[in-house]
């Protein structure tokens, strides 16, 4: 069964998004892009832009699930706070649409897509290109990260479905 999954890499200046179609363990890229805001814009307008554009992506591609990268709280708390605000308005758009949500750390996403949680951005973009059979690395890197999040969610959904099938088969076997 085909499933459309939206991935989001939140950020105040750049919120990457990517849409994939997943069938079993095969995935194809439907579309990707980046919501860009500038520091000259007032914060409320920047957040409104992120919300509005994510809503438009949802309406255009009709995903049933979404993967969002969690916020990394490194040394720059101000940057993390701004990213958290952008992530919040993206989550609001997802909630309004009633989408299934998966939240993944950068390490989880990199581990799923590249095989190591310490992968750099170029490795993530390369593997996204390979996994989705794209002619070039997706750009900007925020869009590549969003596609990686969508791939991660597709794998997690597949793993959960496989565990459910195994549990159901074991239960059926036990009833015999």
Distances in Å between the alpha carbon of 9 and those of 58, 164, 170, 176? Answer: 15, 29, 38, 48
Residues with catalytic function? 9, 69, 142
pLDDT surpasses 60 at 100 = yes
Tell me the CATH class for 2-175: alpha beta
Cα 145 from Cα 126, distance rounded (Å): 11
What's CA 127's distance to the chain center, in Å?
15
Cα 116 from Cα 136, distance rounded (Å): 22
Cα 174 from Cα 176, distance rounded (Å): 5
Helices (H), 7-138: 43-61, 77-97, 106-113, 121-132
- Sorting pLDDT into bands at 50, 70 and 90, what band is 160? low
What is the model's pTM? 0.89
Cα 27 from Cα 82, distance rounded (Å): 32
Percent of the chain with pLDDT over 70: 88
> Residue 132 half-sphere exposure, CB side, CA atoms within 13 Å?
31
pLDDT digits (tens, 9 = 90+) for 66-90: 999 998 766 577 788 889 999 999 9
Percent of the chain with pLDDT over 90: 80
The domain locations on the chain are 2-175
């Amino acid at each position: 069964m085909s499933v459309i999954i939206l991935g989001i890499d939140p950020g105040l200046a750049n919120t990457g998004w990517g849409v994939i179609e997943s069938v079993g363990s095969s995935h194809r890229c439907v579309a990707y892009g980046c919501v860009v805001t500038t520091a000259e814009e007032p914060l409320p307008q920047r957040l409104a832009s992120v919300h509005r554009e994510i809503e438009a992506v949802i309406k255009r591609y009709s995903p049933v699930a979404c993967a969002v990268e969690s916020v990394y709280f490194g040394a720059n708390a101000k940057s993390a706070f701004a990213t958290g605000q952008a992530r919040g308005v993206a989550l609001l758009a997802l909630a309004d649409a009633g989408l299934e949500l998966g939240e993944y750390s950068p390490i989880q996403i990199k581990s799923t897509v590249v095989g190591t949680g310490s992968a750099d951005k170029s490795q993530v973009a390369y593997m996204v290109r390979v996994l989705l059979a794209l002619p070039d690395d997706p750009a900007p890197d925020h869009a590549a990260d969003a596609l990686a999040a969508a791939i991660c969610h597709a794998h997690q959904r597949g793993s959960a479905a496989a565990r459910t099938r195994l549990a159901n088969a074991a239960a059926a076997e036990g009833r015999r």
